[in-house]
Chains A and B, each alone.
Chain A
Amino acid sequence: MKQMTKILLAGLLAGASLHAESEPVAKPETTKQSQSPVEVTTRSLQLKTVKTPKGKKVKKWVRATEVVPGDTVRYVNTVRNRSGQNIEKVRIVNPINPHLIYLARSAKCAGGCTIRFSIDGGKHFAAPKELFVKMKNGKKRLALPKEYNAVEWVIDAIPAGESTTVEFKARLK
């Protein structure tokens, strides 16, 4: 916590440091985006048939506005490094809403990354081949993609001023 306060004091706006000083006990561990040199946004998309200006029908991922059970939703998370320095050891965690079922092999990233999953709400993450469910008879089996309830992307570094995206797809129950 002291380290975070130092960073806030050193690198962020004056308002942020005042906030940290005035409420030292209640200071949140999570920084608001407006206070951070890094921004992350999430968007839900759905595949729809739309008409081009020339009247041609094409399928396109658009803002999810009309979603019913059974539909696939694509979540695209964009990370922007607005700071003047590289950021490293970037770990992006996306809990999967209980109304959604993760679709196998749909988690991706734009550049290089390591993708891991959790079946305990994000307490532990592991690669699919290392993610096991303990059964009633004491034996273990590989977790099924539909049992994943969080996705984690680990990126080595995002250069200063650049952005990257990570994504996954899920089906509405």
Chain B
Amino acid sequence: MTGRSIITGRRKRDSTKSKVKCWIFVFSLLVLWSSAEGAGTAAGTAVSNSVTIRFQIAGSAATQTIESNTDTFVVDRVADVRIDWMDTAPVEAGPGESDRVLRFLVSNLGNGDDNVSLSYEHNTTDSFSPPPQNVRLYRDSDGDGVFDPSSDSQVSLLPLAEDANATVFIVADIPSNPDSNLSRDGIRVASSWTATAGPEDPQAVDVVVRRGEDLAEGIYRLRDYHLESYKSATIHSSDGQVHTGTRITYTIGVTLKGGAGAIHNVIVSDTIPTGTEYLPGTLTLDGTALSDAADGDAGSYDSAQRLIRVDLGTLSQSAPGETSREIAFEVKVQ
């Protein structure tokens, strides 16, 4: 008579996500404003200047007009690439976890197209930092700001038009035995353009490298809190043995342990053991009765699937310690 408990939880900070989305929105507006305001004059544009002068010869009432020469220079190409880490806080990661994501924005601030190369910058002094073989770089191909392996594509060379930008992700598998709490790794970007050598010509498009390379680092923070659970059974019989008709109370405990943090959407599912039947109206959460129907409260019993389901929502604590919830229900041996 064993039961199977399934505890699911999504480790994320909803409020943080909202803030991140907000900042992404604000940043996007700023980038758009910046692009609209500061789109540099395109390389190769001829910029001319000439002057008109009007005057009178002393003693004459006639006005003469003459024009100057036309001075022209051609706008040179400027290479200017930039990368920024876009997560607003260190990204939590547990030892051995897969596909942990850091988000970056790569911008071409030059006045022409650029093929920006990307390379992972590994911090070798830190065993928490994912080694290069554990890291993939992805472009946010669908532009939603969220990593999705089915729609985003791995990338090492990023074509960017003038004043364009793109989100890229570090997707890493976290080492199993880190000996520090924070990692610091990043992406180095480099322009495909190199400065023109030789004499300068006002009529030729030379290449000027303003910022040929840039580096941004992101941080993983070792998650120091986790969920633990247990399940126990209390047999209600005078001899302590299980007989037909004996009631058994099952208790499932779920505890958030460790440092400050939150785990969201924690759902406990438990299948009623074979050879027993659920006793209606016995489901409780922290001693408070829950209805068996799938209604407004956190619990329900699905008789077709013989499944107890309790939605614990968010387990959180603002200081290191333990935060527990306890579910109980009764069955009768058939």
CA distance A89 to B64 in the complex (A): 10
CA distance A166 to B59 in the complex (A): 25
Q: Are A69 and B57 in contact (CB under 8 A)?
A: no
Question: In the complex, how many angstroms separate the beta carbon of A142 from the nearest chain B beta carbon?
Answer: 21
On chain B, the residues within 8 Å of A90 by CB distance are 53-55
CA distance A6 to B66 in the complex (A): 16
* Given known A-B contacts A67-B47, A173-B41, A38 and B66 have beta carbons under 8 A apart: yes
Question: In the complex, how many angstroms separate the beta carbon of A121 from the nearest chain B beta carbon?
Answer: 13
* Given known A-B contacts A4-B62, A66-B208, A40 and B47 have beta carbons under 8 A apart: no
Other-chain residue from A4, A42, A73 in contact with B68 (beta carbon distance below 8 A): A42
CA distance A99 to B58 in the complex (A): 38
Q: Is A31 an interface residue (CB 8 A)?
A: yes
Q: Are A42 and B62 in contact (CB under 8 A)?
A: no
Q: For the complex, would chain A's binding face be called helix, strand, loop or mixed by DSSP majority?
A: strand
Question: Which residues of A, 71-90, contact B by the 8 Å Cβ criterion?
Answer: 73, 75, 77, 79, 83, 85-90
Q: Is B107 an interface residue (CB 8 A)?
A: no
* Given known A-B contacts A64-B202, A65-B201, A93-B52, A83 and B57 have beta carbons under 8 A apart: yes
The listed residue with most A CB atoms (<10 A of its CB), out of B41, B55, B68, is: B55
Question: In the complex, how many angstroms separate the beta carbon of A108 from the nearest chain B beta carbon?
Answer: 15
Complex: chain B residue closest to A77, CB-CB: B51
Other-chain residue from A6, A97, A157 in contact with B47 (beta carbon distance below 8 A): A97
Question: Which residues of B, 43-79, contact A by the 8 Å Cβ criterion?
Answer: 45, 47-71, 73, 75-78
On chain B, the residues within 8 Å of A13 by CB distance are none
On chain B, the residues within 8 Å of A99 by CB distance are 41, 45, 47, 75
Q: Are A92 and B53 in contact (CB under 8 A)?
A: yes
Question: In the complex, how many angstroms separate the beta carbon of A11 from the nearest chain B beta carbon?
Answer: 8
Complex: chain A residue closest to B40, CB-CB: A69
Q: Is A18 an interface residue (CB 8 A)?
A: no
Q: Is B111 an interface residue (CB 8 A)?
A: yes
Question: In the complex, how many angstroms separate the beta carbon of B34 from the nearest chain A beta carbon?
Answer: 13
Q: Are B67 and A94 in contact (CB under 8 A)?
A: no
Q: Is B144 an interface residue (CB 8 A)?
A: no
On chain B, the residues within 8 Å of A75 by CB distance are 49, 71
Identify 27 residue pairs between A and B in the complex whose beta-carbon atoms are under 8 Å apart, listed by A's number.
Answer: A11-B57, A30-B67, A32-B67, A36-B66, A40-B66, A41-B69, A42-B50, A42-B51, A43-B71, A64-B73, A65-B206, A68-B76, A77-B68, A79-B53, A85-B59, A88-B55, A89-B55, A89-B63, A90-B55, A91-B55, A93-B54, A94-B51, A158-B55, A172-B47, A172-B75, A173-B39, A173-B40
Q: Which B residues fall within an 8 A CB radius of A?
A: 38-41, 45, 47-71, 73, 75-78, 111, 200-202, 206, 208, 210
